[in-house]
Structure 1
């Protein structure tokens, strides 16, 4: 069981951008994506400000977001990364397993990674994540180097703060429909 402390607002910038993007997509009838709240049990409260200052996670959370895009089930996690390498310890085995099961049900699972120092967004397909995950599980590198990522899946912010991840979902679908174009086969 982990402990949550309100001072650790890691990921809040990306989360806010994803939430705004999801609202924007919903307003246009393009997608219905919901943030999955992490269940917590409050331990300590700041009664003056009516805030939880210390809590325990009730159970392990699966992923950050789940929903549907034009009838296609999607789930994804949003991660921020300060360095040029993304540590795989930021992803938990139960999350990978959830995403694997989700994809087996013909859904699309992915990560959105925001490299804050470079101000770059990346859409990581589940198949790409699995390649790095398996490498680490087999004794290889336990992080993903920025230069290992496919240039086709970097995104620019739209209007300064919207994340155009539906364009990347579309690219992901095209690769699934045409496996001969798969980027993993370039190696």
Structure 2
């Protein structure tokens, strides 16, 4: 049973940006994407603020977001990385399994990674993630470097979309079977 405390809020800035983007997409009728809450059971609650200070996860979560873009089912997880080296230990086996199963159902799975030190966002295709995972199984360190990423899949802000992942998603779809 995994426990949670206040450091579990890491990544909330990126999630706030994605939530804002998803609301913008909904208003423009471009997509309908929802944040999936992580089910927790509170253990300790601060009596003064009524905030949960310790809890445990009821079960493994799937991914952070799930939805549909113009008829295409998508799911993705948001990750943050403070350095130029992203460790794949930040991606849990149950998340990889869910994304793989989602792809088998003709959905599109991906990660949105924020490299906070560079203030850059990256759309990582599931196939690209699988390549890095396979490489790690063959003895390579269990990480990848910022410089190894495909320049066509960096995410920019555009209009009201702070994390405009629809552009790299469109490129991803053109490469999907």
Correspondence for 1:166:
166
SS of 2:20's equivalent in the other structure is: helix
Q: TM-score, normalised by structure 1?
A: 0.91
1:78 aligns with 2:75: no
Runs of 4+ in 1 over 3 A off after TM superposition: none
SS of 1:63's equivalent in the other structure is: coil
Task: Quote how far apart the aligned CAs of 1:159 are.
Answer: 5.0
Correspondence for 1:115:
115
Alignment of 1:1-187 (within 5 A): 1-158=1-158, 162-176=162-176
SS of 1:114's equivalent in the other structure is: strand
For residues 79-110 of structure 1, the C-alpha deviation after alignment (integer angstroms, 9 at most, x for no partner) is: 01000010000001111111011001000000
Q: Distance in 2 between matches of 1:46 and 1:161?
A: 36
Q: Distance in 2 between matches of 1:23 and 1:160?
A: 9
Task: Quote how far apart the aligned CAs of 1:8 are.
Answer: 3.8
Task: Quote how far apart the aligned CAs of 1:160 are.
Answer: 8.4
Q: Distance in 2 between matches of 1:51 and 1:137?
A: 41
**Is contact 2:120-2:155 (8 Å) kept?**
yes
* Cα distance change, pair 160–144 in 1 and its aligned pair in 2 (3 A): farther
* Cα distance change, pair 8–100 in 1 and its aligned pair in 2 (3 A): closer
SS of 1:79's equivalent in the other structure is: strand
Q: Report the RMSD for the aligned CA atoms in angstroms.
A: 1.3
Q: Distance in 2 between matches of 1:170 and 1:161?
A: 15
Q: Distance in 2 between matches of 1:122 and 1:129?
A: 12
Structure 2 gap segments, 5+ residues each: none
